[in-house]
Amino acid sequence: MAAYDVGPSDKVHPGKPVTVDRYTGGARINHWITAASLILLALSGLALFHPSLFFLSTLFGGGQLTRIIHPWIGVVLFFSFLGLFLRFWTANLWKPEDGTWLARARDVLSNQEDKVPEVGKYNAGQKLVFWSMSVLIVILISSGLVIWDQYFAQFTTIEQKRWAVLIHSIAAVVIICVWIVHFYSAIWVRGTIPGMVRGRVTGGWAWRHHRKWLRELTTAKPGKGAGSKPAE
């Protein structure tokens, strides 16, 4: 039986270099729809957030169209991320080694990953981003529905709308920060973005950053000897 974070489509392909299937085409499309939706929501939301940022509404055809489009993009984000959640939630379950990895994050940032525990398909930082996004998107869609007057005005009070606007704004700021961390991390770890574009990574990349996952792919028993380092 495959390990909890090994998908049925994850496969190792011998060659020079060795390549490893990490993401299916469907998962990649799902991811980029989510990413695009989040960026569009951030831009349109900032335009509505403060007068000094209202110039961003020109990207969406003006203030009125921005106000109309923004909540619908939120609906797209919710269902798109739901697809990612259903695909990847088991691989993002917290494991004992994740706490140790997080405590030694400084070694990761200094490119000394041999000093941290081997991790599966996702490390502790990626898992924190995943679960943070999960919680924040639920908060955003819930509070967003309360202030979506076009369809739900009759179901909420003014006081509820005021609280919803405050909660929605705070959650939006936090999720933008989480997205920035996620994007920067993807750039920092060279090979991550090409892996999400093509769906494949090199064996050397998998060995360096997600060695436990690679072991689980190449051996019958997770965690047991995976042999020598794959070629870059």
Please list the active-site residues: 182
What is the residue type of 102?
L
Q: How far apart are CA 118 and CA 8, in angstroms?
A: 21
Positive or negative, the CA dihedral 52, 56, 60, 61 is: positive
**Residue type for position 19:** T
